Amino acid sequence: MPSAGEATKSVAPATAGQGIVLPPNATRLAQTAQLNALLTIIRSSATSRSDFIFYADRIIRMVVEEGLNYLPTLEKTVQTSTGGAYDGLKFEGRICGVSILRAGEAMESGLRECCRSVRIGKILIQRDEETAKPKLFYAKLPQDVAKRWVLLLDPMLATGGSVLQAIEVLISHGVEASRILFLNLVASPEGLANVYARYPEVRVISAWVDEGLDERNYIVPGLGDFGDRYFC
């Protein structure tokens, strides 16, 4: 079966500003003035929680819509209300969402707004204080997840440790790497490179790609702890 990107369109290499070239498996939204303005609002430390949620939800919806473009399609002809025939498309196969707790839960509503009655699983990965590496604490996935296309949800991609662990969990449950689409709002070049190095078949869709990581592995300029700003 062709990969999700191949099934829908050919994606030319993208440039993420400031000379950063995205890996072949990575895509970002069109860098419009509207998107930049929305990101400016949620990046600001002066933005209230209610405004952060409202504008973050708008960007999430945009990322989800872009991610759906990479699902495979089949030709379908329907009869219109005027009696004519329309040669269109229909999605092939079933999907599910999987959020990486807890920030990933913020993206669930955006997915549900685009896909009615979509099933959503959850994965909890936290840093092990002894090893400083991501550790799986909890995973609850649809029983037939191996037969679905998976939209993996997490707003921020820093080093990529958590998402790499989540991808391993999905693959261990029978999901093909080429059927995983990782959706995020802000990514670092380092994180994108790490995902591509381990799982080049996984499609990564980001709203924006930032400059990089600082000495603490925080995204620069970033926007802070997404989960804290969204839920607290």
Catalytic positions: 127, 131, 225, 228
Band of the pLDDT at 18, cuts 50, 70, 90? low
Distance of CA 218 to the CA centre of its chain: 19
Q: What is the mean pLDDT of the chain?
A: 90
The pLDDT tens digits of the residues spanning 156-184 come to 999 999 999 999 999 999 999 999 999 99
Percent of the chain whose pLDDT exceeds 90: 82
pLDDT at 133: 74
pLDDT at 116: 87
Asked whether residue 231 carries a pLDDT value surpassing 70, the answer given is yes
Q: Which CATH class is domain 25-231?
A: alpha beta
Asked whether residue 204 carries a pLDDT value surpassing 70, the answer given is yes
User: For residues 229 and 223, is the Cβ–Cβ distance under 8 A?
Assistant: yes
Domain extents in the chain = 25-231
The pLDDT tens digits of the residues spanning 74-121 come to 999 999 999 999 999 998 889 999 999 989 999 999 999 999 889 999
